[in-house]
């Protein structure tokens, strides 16, 4: 009988629980014992394992966050911390580990794999910045939450002839901002991948005003050089040049907290099931991700070290559609 463990690490993402559920139930279906690790790598270091049965993951597919908990763990980035984690895994006779998380989590998974332990990763982060998956778990839900907020803000913006700066999450990746800007009909998008000239943005807002628009909306990625608050402060000195009154709204962690969409539940379930299939075949050191519509394994070394590029053609499309 094989004994496997599953953990969630880094920032929580809607759909993580669906992935946990899929790992547990497909693992049990194979006759394995499945354990959960509480509080990510921090829990792994201290051996915080719990056995998981089919009923333990009942009713969690629709829940946001992660029932196993997550935590940042600086100790795990050290060789000493990683050796503690390995000892804990061996003490529990765990034969394979599934790591659900984003960039930092998969770098940790790669470190364990490099030290000789069988690991399979599952791509989960709302930032969608992880190499090896076109879309990661949590992105669809976070995007729809941002879009709902944008739609609501456009209503009040039109009523008062205002411009809104809407800051979305995404760390150093502009994917969420760009997609929300296109889907939300924004007049401009500010992302880390392209340096934004505040003067050019001011000219764009003024142009929108002069073209008779009743409002203007700028979607700003949190990792951009000028975030929403920075742009607001910059424009306060030149308020009359914009035409519109200007307000800023930061969505923040509300984007992580929603119930996962149908897409995220299905994506997470497919990835969780694929993880146990790869383990059953003895294929480790891989990240489960969506590539051309299929769940595919990408080497963890690539996922940990390669940068995922943003399709800049979409930025040009956003600019055209904003006219």
C-alpha–C-alpha distance, residues 2 and 93, integer Å: 9
Verify whether residue 151 is a known catalytic residue: no
Q: Bridge-partner residues for 220, per DSSP?
A: 167, 190
C-alpha–C-alpha distance, residues 247 and 209, integer Å: 15
Assign 3-state DSSP to the chain and report helix, strand, coil percentages, each to 5.
Answer: 45, 20, 35
Torsion sign (Cα): 269, 275, 276, 277? positive
Kind and range of the H or E element at 120?
strand 119-123
Closest Cα partner for 13 from 172, 174, 136? Answer: 136
Exactly one of 12, 56, 93, 127 is catalytic; which is it?
127
Q: Name, in order, each residue with C-beta under 8 angstroms of 138's C-beta and a sequence gap of 6 or more.
A: 13, 14, 15, 16, 124, 125, 126, 256, 260, 264
Angle 71-273-30 (CA atoms, 0-180°, nearest 5)?
A: 110
Q: Name, in order, each residue with C-beta under 8 angstroms of 273's C-beta and a sequence gap of 6 or more.
A: 22, 23, 26
C-alpha–C-alpha distance, residues 296 and 288, integer Å: 6
Closest Cα partner for 63 from 18, 108, 93, 32? Answer: 18
- Contact of 142 with 259, CB cutoff 8 Å: no
Residues recognised as catalytic: 127
């Amino acid at each position: 009988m094989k004994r496997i463990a599953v953990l969630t690490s880094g920032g929580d993402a809607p759909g993580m629980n669906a992935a946990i559920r899929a790992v547990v139930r497909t693992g049990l279906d194979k006759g394995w014992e499945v354990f959960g690790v509480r509080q990510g790598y921090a829990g792994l270091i201290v051996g915080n394992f719990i056995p998981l049965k089919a009923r333990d993951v009942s009713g969690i597919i629709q829940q946001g966050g992660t029932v196993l908990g997550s935590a940042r763990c600086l100790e795990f980035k050290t060789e000493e911390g990683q050796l503690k984690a390995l000892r804990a895994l061996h003490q529990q006779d765990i034969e394979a580990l599934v790591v659900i998380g984003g960039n930092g989590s998969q770098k940790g998974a790669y470190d364990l794999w490099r030290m000789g332990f069988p690991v399979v990763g599952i791509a989960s982060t709302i930032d969608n910045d992880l190499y090896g998956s076109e879309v990661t778990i949590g992105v669809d839900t976070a995007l729809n939450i941002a879009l709902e907020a944008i739609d609501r803000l456009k209503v009040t913006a039109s009523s008062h002839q205002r411009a809104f700066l809407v800051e979305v999450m995404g760390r150093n990746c502009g994917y969420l901002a760009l997609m929300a800007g296109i889907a939300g009909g924004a007049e401009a998008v500010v992302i880390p991948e392209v340096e934004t000239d505040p003067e050019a943005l001011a000219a764009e807002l003024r142009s929108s005003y002069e073209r008779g628009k009743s409002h203007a909306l700028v979607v700003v990625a949190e990792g951009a050089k000028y975030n929403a608050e920075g742009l607001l402060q910059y424009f306060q000195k030149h308020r009359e040049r914009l035409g519109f009154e200007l307000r800023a709204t930061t969505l923040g962690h509300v984007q992580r907290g929603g119930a996962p969409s149908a897409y995220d539940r299905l994506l997470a379930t497919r990835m969780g099931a694929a993880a146990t299939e790869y383990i059953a075949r003895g294929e480790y050191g891989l990240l489960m991700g969506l590539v051309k519509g299929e769940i595919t394994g990408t080497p963890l070394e690539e996922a940990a070290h390669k940068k995922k590029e943003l399709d800049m053609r979409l930025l040009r499309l956003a600019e055209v559609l904003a006219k």
